[in-house]
């Protein structure tokens, strides 16, 4: 029998334990707690696979760890490849349990994209969750291809000139069984989507908007409110794509003004943001998703 990594039951909130080193108001920490609860509710087990990112620093220094499940640290580019191997060996051994990649946007949109695309094309039996804080947070806040236009980072001190990469469309184009966006401001929707992903086989991709007070230059207490505003204004749509062509929108924007979202983060220079262009881009993007959901609907049970 091939060597494998043990998988242990998730007890309530055991995924991220006290003693972790994350910043106050870190969206990734909230997301890990929500993921842990959803796993516990499903009575499921998991092994985490985490590339270089804040999520692997969370664990603390050897030999201690704040993760309550077996966790494998990988190189930046290889998390999907390593997770594929663990999942394959587990399947060969007839073992149950999820293999979950937990990666930042740098490790997903940029450096890990080749192995992620390859795993998606092979429809590997893994769940891949990207917590998208829109920067390379762990190394001081450099821009990534997930950084939105206008955001100041340590490598774009005058504001990024390019827009955010559309990672959901890229993953949906692989026609994987499930791709969905997550917001920690919508906990019920979050839990349902994790539960949906847990009930499926094959490649499942989840994209979580992850506030980062350190990089976003925002108040830690504002984190959940900020991502709530992003959903309400259409900046971060909540939707699912089944098999690459079954669309479902989970929250319709309430036409609230995205301006406050930008104004409450000091990474943006309000004088430099073209709010009219931003409002137009939000409503056009939502209209595009609504048309897809009308033309290619996925009817949920």
Ligand X SMILES: Cc1ncc(C[n+]2csc(CCOP(=O)(O)OP(=O)(O)O)c2C)c(N)n1
Contact residues toward ligand X (CB under 6 A) are 52-55, 76, 104-107, 111, 133, 135-139, 144
Cβ pair 153, 213 in contact under 8 A: no
- Nearest distance from residue 137's CB to ligand X, in Å? 3
Q: Which is nearer to ligand X, 52 or 207 (CB)?
A: 52
C-alpha to C-alpha distance for 82 and 293, rounded to whole angstroms? 34
Q: Which is nearer to ligand X, 25 or 55 (CB)?
A: 55
Q: Which is nearer to ligand X, 38 or 53 (CB)?
A: 53
Q: Whose CB is nearest to ligand X? A: 104
C-alpha to C-alpha distance for 144 and 160, rounded to whole angstroms? 10
Tell me the HSE value of 142 on the side-chain side, using a 13 A CA sphere.
9
Cβ pair 79, 101 in contact under 8 A: yes
- Nearest distance from residue 70's CB to ligand X, in Å? 20
End-to-end CA distance of the chain: 39
Q: Which is nearer to ligand X, 130 or 241 (CB)?
A: 130
- Nearest distance from residue 111's CB to ligand X, in Å? 6
C-alpha to C-alpha distance for 232 and 237, rounded to whole angstroms? 8
Q: Give the C-alpha distances (Å, rounded to integers) separating 253 from 168, 231, 273.
A: 18, 6, 21
- Nearest distance from residue 152's CB to ligand X, in Å? 16
- Nearest distance from residue 229's CB to ligand X, in Å? 21
- Nearest distance from residue 208's CB to ligand X, in Å? 12
Q: Which is nearer to ligand X, 53 or 273 (CB)?
A: 53
Cβ pair 148, 164 in contact under 8 A: yes
Q: Which is nearer to ligand X, 7 or 71 (CB)?
A: 71
b/e sequence 151-176, b meaning 16+ C-beta within 10 Å = bbbeebeebbeeebbebbebbbebbb
| Strand 8-9 versus strand 45-50 pairing type | antiparallel
């Amino acid at each position: 029998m091939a060597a494998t990594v043990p998988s242990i039951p998730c007890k309530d909130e055991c995924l991220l334990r006290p003693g972790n080193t994350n910043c106050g108001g870190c969206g990734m920490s909230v997301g890990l707690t929500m993921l842990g609860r959803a796993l516990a509710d499903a009575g499921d087990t998991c092994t985490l696979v985490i590339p270089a990112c804040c999520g692997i620093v969370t664990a603390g220094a050897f030999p201690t760890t704040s993760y309550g499940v077996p966790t494998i640290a990988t190189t930046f580019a290889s998390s999907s490849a390593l997770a594929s191997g663990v999942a394959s060996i587990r399947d060969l051994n007839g073992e149950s349990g999820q293999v979950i990649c937990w990666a930042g946007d740098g490790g997903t949109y940029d450096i890990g994209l080749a192995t992620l695309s390859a795993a998606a094309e092979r429809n590997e039996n893994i769940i891949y969750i990207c917590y998208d804080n829109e920067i390379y947070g762990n190394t001081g806040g450099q821009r990534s291809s997930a950084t939105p236009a206008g955001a100041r980072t340590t490598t774009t001190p005058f504001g990024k000139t390019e827009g955010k990469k559309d990672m959901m469309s890229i993953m949906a184009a692989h026609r994987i069984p499930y791709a969905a966006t997550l917001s920690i401001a919508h906990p019920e929707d979050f839990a349902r989507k994790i539960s949906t992903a847990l009930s499926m086989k094959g490649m499942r991709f989840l994209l979580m908007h992850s506030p980062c007070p350190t990089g976003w230059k925002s108040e830690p207490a504002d984190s959940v409110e900020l991502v709530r505003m992003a959903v309400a204004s259409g900046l971060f749509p909540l939707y699912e794509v089944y098999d690459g062509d079954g669309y479902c929108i989970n929250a319709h924007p309430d036409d609230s003004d995205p301006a406050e979202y930008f104004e409450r983060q000091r990474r943006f220079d309000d004088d430099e943001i073209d709010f009219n262009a931003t409002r137009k881009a939000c409503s056009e993007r939502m209209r595009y998703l609504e048309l897809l959901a009308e033309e290619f609907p996925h009817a949920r049970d």
